[in-house]
Structure 1
Amino acid sequence: MNALLYILVVAIWGTTWIAIFLQQGPVPATVSIFWRFAIASITMLTILLLTRRLRSLALRDHLFCILQGCCVFGFNFWCFYTAASWINTGLESVIFSMAVLFNAINSFLFFRQTPPGRFYLAALLGLAGIITLFWDDLQLSGLSSTMLPGILLSALGTYGFSLGNMLSIRHQRRGLETLTTNSWAMLYGTLIIGLIALLRGDNFTPQWTFSYLGALFYLAIFGSVIAFGAYFTLVGRIGASNAAYSTLLFPLVALTLSTIYEGYQWHANAIIGLVLILVGNLVMFARVPAGFIKPRLKMKRA
C-alpha cells in the first residue's frame, strides 16, 4: 500500500508544476489558487459527507486546521505561483525537493526527533547543488534580478509545506482522521486566500481557455484531492521525513516536462547542481526503513 501511495504522489506532483506554468497569465495567482482549492475542498467534503466519513473535530483541532490551511493550501502556493512567473517551474520543483531537509529540521524543532548524522552532509550537498544549479543564471542576470526573489519564494513555499507536514503529524498523533483534517484545512486555506484576493481587488473570473481550465481541473482533482490525500496518509504511515522522500523524483519528472513545454535549456552547472541535490536527498535515505515497503502488521494471538 505504501509503495502505491508513493508512486501516486511522485507521478501526480511531478507533473503539477507544468500545470502551474499553464495557469500563468492574466489571472492573479491568488485567484487561481482560490479556484483550485475551492473545487478540491468542496469535492472532498462532499465525498466524505456522502460516504459518512467526515468526522467531527474539536474547536482546538479546527484552529490547527486553519493553520495547516495557511501553510499548505494558501500562502505556500502563493509563493510557488508567484515564483513561477520569475523562474522555470522545473527549477521550482528542484527547490521543493529540499522539503526532505526542512522536514528533518522541523521534526527536531517540534517533536525533538534528532536528525541522523547523515543529515548534515545531505544539507551541505543540497545547498551546494542549488547554488550550482542557479549559478549561471545568477551571473547573467545579477542578484538584483527576479531570479533571486524567485528562488527565495520557492524556498519559503517549501518551508511552509514542511510546516504543514508537522501539523499533519500533530493531527494523526491525536488520532484524527487524515481525510477529515485535510478537507477542513483545504477549505480554510481556500477561504483565507479568497479573502486576500478580495482585499486586493482581484478579479475572480478565470481564464476561459482549454489550457487554463484543464490545468485547473488537473490541479484541483489530481494534484490536490488525490495527491495530498495520498501524501498525508504516507506521513502518518511512514513519517514526514520518509514521506518527503517522494520529492526526490519530482525534479526528474518536472524538468523533463519543462524542457518540452517551457524550453528549459540544460547546461553543465544545471546537471551538476541537480546531481548534487539528488545525491544529498539519497544520503538522507541511505537506509530506507522496512515500513516504507509494507506497513507493520500487529500479530494477534489466536
Structure 2
Amino acid sequence: MNLMLYLAVVLIWGTTWIAIFLQQQAADTPVFVAIFWRFLLASGVMLVILKLLNRLRSLSGRDHLFCLAQGGCVFGFNFVCFYHAAALISTGLESVIFSMAVLYNAINSWVFFRQRPSVRLVPAALLGLGGMVALFWQDIQAAQSAPQLLWGVGLSALGTLGFSFGNMISMRHQRQQRDVLTTNSYAMLYGAVLMALMALMNGEGLAPAHNLQWLGAMSYLAIFGSVVGFGAYFTLAGRIGTSQAAYCTLLFPLVALTLSTLYEGYQWHSNAIVGLLMILAGNLVMFACWPASRKLRTA
C-alpha cells in the first residue's frame, strides 16, 4: 500500500508542472485567481464526495483554525511563491530547491514533535539531493548570479518551507485522529478563500479564463494534482512519516524530464545520468527505512 501511494504521488505531481505551464500559457490570469479556482474546485469535489459517502467528519473550532493555517501553507501562499518563481528561474532549478522538503520535514518533525530522523534517512537525503544537483547541473551553471536568480531561489525556498509547515499541521491532525480527507478538504477550501481575498485586495476579478486549455489544465490540477495527489501524499505521510514521504519530491522532476524527452527533445548529459542513478540509490535506502517508520502510524 505504501509503495502504491508513493508511486501515485510521484506520477501525479510529476505531471502537474506541465499542467501549470499549459495553464499559464493559455491565458494571462493573475496567480491568486488561478490558485483560487484550482482549490475551490478541488475542495468542492472533495466535500461533495465525502458528504455523499457519509465520510465528512465534524471538526472542532480549534481544528478548523489549524485547517485554515494548513490551507495558507499548502494550498495557498506556497503556490504563490512557486508560480512567481517559475517566471524567474527554470523549473528544473525550482525542482532542485523544492527537494529540500526532505530536509525541512526532518528538521521540523524534530523541532515540533521530537521525532529524531532515522539514521538511514541522512544518506538517502544526501544521495537524493546530490542526484538532483547533478541532474540539473547544466541549468545551475547556466543560471548566472543575477538578481532575478536570487529572487527565484528565495521564493522557491520560502514556498517549500510553507509546504513543510503544512506537513507538520497535517501530522498534528493525524496525531489527534482527525480524518485526513476531511481536514484536507477544509484546508483546500480555506486556501481558496485566502487566495480570493488576496485577489480582491489587489483589485483583481475572480472570473476564470474562458479558454478550453486553461480550464482543462485547471481541472487536471484540481482533481488529480490536488484531490488525488494531496490525498495520497498526506495519507502516506501518516503511514510512514513526513520525512520519508517528502522524499518523493526528489522524483517529480524525473517524471517531468521523461515527458520532456518524449515530447520536447530533452538531451540527457552524463551528469544527468549520474544524478538519476544517485536518486534511484537514495530511493532504495529510503524503502529500507519503511519497516521501522511504520511505527509512526501509532505514535
TM-score with structure 1 setting the length? 0.85
Secondary structure of the 1:232 match is helix
1:17 maps to 2:17: yes
Q: Which amino acid aligns with 1:23?
A: Q
Q: Which amino acid aligns with 2:169?
A: L
Provide the identity percentage: 65
Secondary structure of the 2:112 match is helix
Q: Which amino acid aligns with 1:244?
A: A
Q: Give 2:105's match in structure 1, choosing from 90, 96, 103.
A: 103
1:70 maps to 2:72: yes
Aligned length: 295
Distance, in Å, in 2 between the alignment partners of 1:8 and 1:158 is 20
Distance, in Å, in 2 between the alignment partners of 1:97 and 1:278 is 14
Q: Which amino acid aligns with 1:32?
A: A
Q: Partner of 2:243 in structure 1?
A: 241
Q: Partner of 1:300 in structure 2?
A: none
Name structure 2 gaps, 5 residues minimum: none
Distance change in 2, residues 1:37/1:151 (3 Å): same
1:160 maps to 2:162: yes
Distance change in 2, residues 1:166/1:44 (3 Å): same
The answer (yes or no) to whether the contact 1:108–1:115 under 8 Å persists in 2 is yes
Distance change in 2, residues 1:89/1:211 (3 Å): farther
1:34: how far off?
A: 0.5
The answer (yes or no) to whether the contact 2:239–2:297 under 8 Å persists in 1 is no
The residue correspondences of 1:141-220 to structure 2 (distance < 5 A) are: 141-220=143-222
Q: Which 4+ runs in 1 deviate beyond 6 A?
A: none
The residue correspondences of 1:44-59 to structure 2 (distance < 5 A) are: 44-59=46-61
Q: Partner of 2:5 in structure 1?
A: 5
Secondary structure of the 1:203 match is coil
The answer (yes or no) to whether the contact 1:134–1:270 under 8 Å persists in 2 is yes
Segment drifting more, 213-222 vs 122-131: 122-131
The answer (yes or no) to whether the contact 2:78–2:163 under 8 Å persists in 1 is yes
Q: Which amino acid aligns with 2:7?
A: I
1:203: how far off?
A: 3.5
Q: Which of the pair is proportionally richer in helix?
A: 2
Q: Which amino acid aligns with 1:15?
A: T
The answer (yes or no) to whether the contact 1:168–1:232 under 8 Å persists in 2 is yes
The answer (yes or no) to whether the contact 1:21–1:89 under 8 Å persists in 2 is no
Distance, in Å, in 1 between the alignment partners of 2:89 and 2:258 is 16
Secondary structure of the 2:24 match is coil
Residue deviations 1:11-30, cap 9 Å, x none?
21111111111122411111
Segment drifting more, 231-240 vs 182-191: 231-240
Secondary structure of the 1:146 match is helix
The answer (yes or no) to whether the contact 2:117–2:243 under 8 Å persists in 1 is no
The answer (yes or no) to whether the contact 2:132–2:250 under 8 Å persists in 1 is no
Distance, in Å, in 1 between the alignment partners of 2:14 and 2:273 is 18
Distance change in 2, residues 1:130/1:4 (3 Å): closer
Residue deviations 1:35-94, cap 9 Å, x none?
000100111111122222211111111111111001110011111111222233344334
